[in-house]
Structure 1
Amino acid sequence: MAERETLLRILDLARWAPSGDNTQPWRFEIVAPDHIAIHGYDTRDWCLYDFDGHASHMAHGALLETLRLAATGFGLDASWSVRNAAEDSCPIYDVLLRESSGVSVDPLLSFVEQRVVQRRPMSIKPLTAVQRSALAAAPGPAYDVQFLESSRDRLKVARLLWDNAHIRLTCPEAYAVHREIIEWGARYSKDRIPEGAVGVDPLTARLMKWVMQRWERVAFFNRYLLGTIPPRIQLDFLPALGCAAHVLLRPREAPVGLADYVRAGVAMQRLWLSASAVGLHLQPQMTPVIFRWYARCGRTFSALPEIGRQALVLAGDFESLVGANAGSPFVFFCRVGRSAAPASRSLRKDLGDLLV
């Protein structure tokens, strides 16, 4: 039976788990000295990137894995289950803690707070055999890890992300999300992405801030002033070339429900922390995965018909790039490489604001 102070220290570490655009779609309830309830939710009602809540479900998995890692630091074993009858849009995860003499501190625990997103170009120095092996083993036997490492492959990914960014930047439904998730003029942010971590130069950031005040400005700049070009170069094309490798996480069995996507989030977090453990930084590249989810389900995410057509083409290009077919499941895509630590990053809400 853990003391409340111990549970609070575990949760204080767990809250550093990653989530899409730093939304932190969870709240914590201490039910008993050996029982924590995680009240999850998703953002599908306002965020097109949260396809059927799957991105949030993966964030829940990353949180649960981070909580498990934190518990090992106190000699506790943490196991979770989804509470019966919980809705996918607001699942409740019951986490049970028990003392165990066989529990040792997980070596990934020390990287929980160090793990960050690096959106700027990194070194193109190739992965070492040790780094590649660590990344390949991190998600566990239910997942295959595919590496795209050659200069030719990185150029192909850069072209894919160039096209992907055009969809992202010309979709009015995406604009509504982008407008809400950036904290302009900030180096750190507790609940959004600070301007300093976006990955553009100060002049482009100032222009983006002004243009993004209204969709009409965005549409005008995109149509007449090549408004998508500077952010696509700085946020997508150059970073795609500037890395050691792009990494695709492919489950061996297609995920079909909430628990499968939660487990994919566990695998994602272990991959990310393992990258940190071998001296690498990482940037998620999830929008092509998400647009492909829409395309392969025959669903659109925009009132503009051309957006749906472009997403379908993008899905085919992505599959061709990685040697997959339309039915192959993808759950996480990222790039990794060496770099100095980012000078700006997202923080987290205070623990007191996450407790219920």
Structure 2
Amino acid sequence: MTNQASSRAVESVLDIARWAPSGDNAQPWSFRVRGGRDVEVLVRRTNPNIYEYRQGEPTLLSAGALLENMEIAAPAFGLKANWRFAGSADGIDHIDVHFSDADTISAPDLFGEILRRSVDRRPFKMRALTSEQKNRLAGALDQDIEIQWYESLPDRREIAALSGLATKVRLTIPETFAVHRGIVDWKNRHSEQGIPSRALGIDPLTLQLTRWSMGSWGRTQFMNALGAPTFASLQMDLLPGLFCGSYFAIRLKRHFDGPDAALVETLRAGQAIQRFWLMATQLGLVMQPCVAILAFWVYAAAGREFTASPKAQKIAHKLALGADAMFGRNEDIVFLGRTGWPRSTSQGRSTRLPLAQLMAR
């Protein structure tokens, strides 16, 4: 492949890879192309977002999903992608990706699912996954990663209750107010940088009340005093939790061979989670990560004061006790989520920034 052709192919790979998931659709990365076949990925992990627990582990998992997209997309354009972690400096993680010629041009099995994969926060059909489907999903993971399923109605109800506790925390503390106000896109059905309001999984009236309350912290406090978090939790936690195929926990057998090795381990876990998600999409399933449960569980279990609200700290402690009883220790859990069969097509979804805006300058 000529240099000009390889440059176009690399650009095409990056254009597909940018559809990786990231918390709040933040897309915390940029690309610097060097020559025709080398790309430096710069990952920003200094976001003060309260959901970035364990020194930004969610961002590293998202970066792993980005790298997996590159590896899956590359053969469709006649290339192979190999990456290595190149160190961190000034709050930026640097990852070098080298593209070489593939023997043939062929689209891998999961290639077509990259753009289709998305988050669905609504209730699903109350239909269980088959053993074959769960085996295919588990097969997408690495050998040092295992999955546990929580399918029974009592388990789903209990985890939905934990999610409700997380919602009571996240909707009532000032530390999340600015985050939530900054990520919701009230105008667009498809949002390049944020979450469309239609994709939040709540009804139109609640959306309007939420939009009004986000106008100021004082309004939010007023709505909270009226019990808004409990009503929101019914739509965002209880009903979705009951109406799904299963919750699941993905565990990584961590080796802790030093900070760089642990970081690479987390990136590879992100790759595996992305394959899992793409396989779910191929099977016709939809998914929703349960980031808030894990975030507040990690903080409370470590005794960290993550908020100025004593009441929210107590709720997080209660959440941690319940999560310990349900899942066991949190240290090796890298992903919690729920999956199932969609009832209908989503009315809105997050898209991505154009590739040109993701290029480092």
Match of 2:86 among 78, 83, 86: 83
Match of 1:5 among 1, 5, 8: 8
For 2:274, give the aligned amino acid: Q
Work out whether 1:261 is the aligned partner of 2:266.
Answer: yes
Counterpart selection for 1:122 from 121, 124, 129: 124
User: Which residue, 298, 301, 305 being the options, matches 1:293?
Assistant: 298
TM-score, structure 1 as length reference = 0.94
The answer to whether the Cα contact below 8 Å between 2:16 and 2:114 also exists between their aligned partners in 1 is: yes
Give the secondary structure class of the aligned counterpart of 1:319. helix
How far apart are residue 298 of structure 1 and its match?
2.8
Do 1:28 and 1:38's aligned partners in 2 also have CA atoms closer than 8 Å?
A: yes
Q: Distance in 1 between matches of 2:354 and 2:232?
A: 32
Aligned AA (2:61) = M
Residues 90 and 102 (structure 1 numbering): CA distance in 2 closer, same or farther, change over 3 Å? same
Residues 43 and 177 from structure 1, CA distance in 2 versus in 1: closer, same or farther, beyond 3 angstroms? farther
Matched residues, percent identical? 36
Structure-1 separation of matches of 2:103 and 2:199: 42
Q: Out of 152-161 and 36-45, give the one that drifted further.
A: 36-45
Return the alpha-carbon distance in structure 1 between the equivalents of residues 153 and 255 of structure 2: 30
How many angstroms does 1:229 deviate by?
A: 2.0
* Residues 12-36 of structure 1, C-alpha deviations (whole Å, 9 max, x = no match): 1000000000000011111122211
Q: SS state of the match for residue 107, structure 1?
A: coil
Q: Report deviation, 1:88.
A: 8.0
Which consecutive residues of structure 2, in runs of 5 or more, have no partner in the other structure? none
In structure 2, what residue type is equivalent to 1:354? L
| Equivalent residue number for residue 39 of structure 2 | 36
Q: Shift of residue 43 of structure 1?
A: 4.8
Aligned to 2:187: 185
Asked whether the equivalents of residues 248 and 332 of structure 1 are also in contact (C-alpha less than 8 Å), the reply is: yes
Q: Does 1:341 align with 2:342?
A: no
Q: Matched residue pairs, number?
A: 351
Worse overlay, 98-107 or 1-10: 98-107
**Once the 2 structures are TM-superposed, how far is the Cα of residue 309 of structure 1 from its aligned partner?**
3.0
Kindly provide the amino acid, as one letter, of the partner of residue 266 in structure 2: Y
Matches within 5 A, 1:126-275: 126-223=128-225, 225-253=226-254, 257-275=262-280
Matched letter for residue 152 of structure 2: S
The corresponding residue for 2:103 is: 101
CA distance in 2, matches of 1:171, 1:267: 33
Deviation at 1:69, TM superposition (A): 0.7
Kept after mapping to 2: 8 A contact 1:43/1:50: no
Q: Which residue of 2 aligns with 1:350?
A: 354
Q: Distance in 1 between matches of 2:236 and 2:70?
A: 32
Q: Which residue of 1 aligns with 2:57?
A: 54
Candidates 69, 72, 75, aligned match of 1:69: 72
The Cα shift of 1:281 comes to: 0.5
- Residue 230 of structure 1 deviates from its aligned partner by 2.2
Report deviation, 1:104: 5.4
Q: Contact 1:53 / 1:89 at 8 angstroms: preserved in 2?
A: no
> What is aligned with 1:281?
286
> 1:227/1:351 Cα in 2 relative to 1: closer, same or farther (>3 Å)?
same
How many Å apart are 1:196 and its aligned residue? 0.9
Instruction: Determine if contact 2:30/2:43 at 8 Å carries over to the other structure.
Output: yes
Q: Secondary structure at the match of 1:3?
A: helix
Q: Cα offset for 1:134?
A: 1.3
Maintained 8 Å contact 1:53/1:88? no
| TM-score when normalising by structure 2 | 0.93
1:315 to 317, 320, 333: 320
Deviation at 1:211, TM superposition (A): 0.6
Q: Secondary structure at the match of 2:333?
A: coil
Question: Is the 8 Å Cα contact of residues 164 and 233 (structure 2) preserved in structure 1?
Answer: yes
- CA gap of 1:117–1:276, structure 2 versus 1, over 3 A, is same
Runs of 4 or more consecutive aligned structure 1 residues displaced over 4 Å after TM superposition = none
Deviates more, 1:8-17 or 1:31-40: 31-40
In the alignment, what sits opposite 1:15? Answer: 18
Match of 2:311 in 1: 306
Deviation at 1:102? 7.6
Structure 1 CA distance for aligned equivalents of residues 243 and 207 of structure 2? 21
Distance 1:300 1:10 in 2: 42
Residues 212 and 218, structure 1, Cα contact 8 Å, conserved in 2? yes
Q: Name the Cα RMSD after superposition.
A: 1.7
SS in 2 for 1:156: helix
CA distance in 2 between partners of 1:21 and 1:43 (Å): 15
Q: Partner letter of residue 238 of structure 1?
A: L
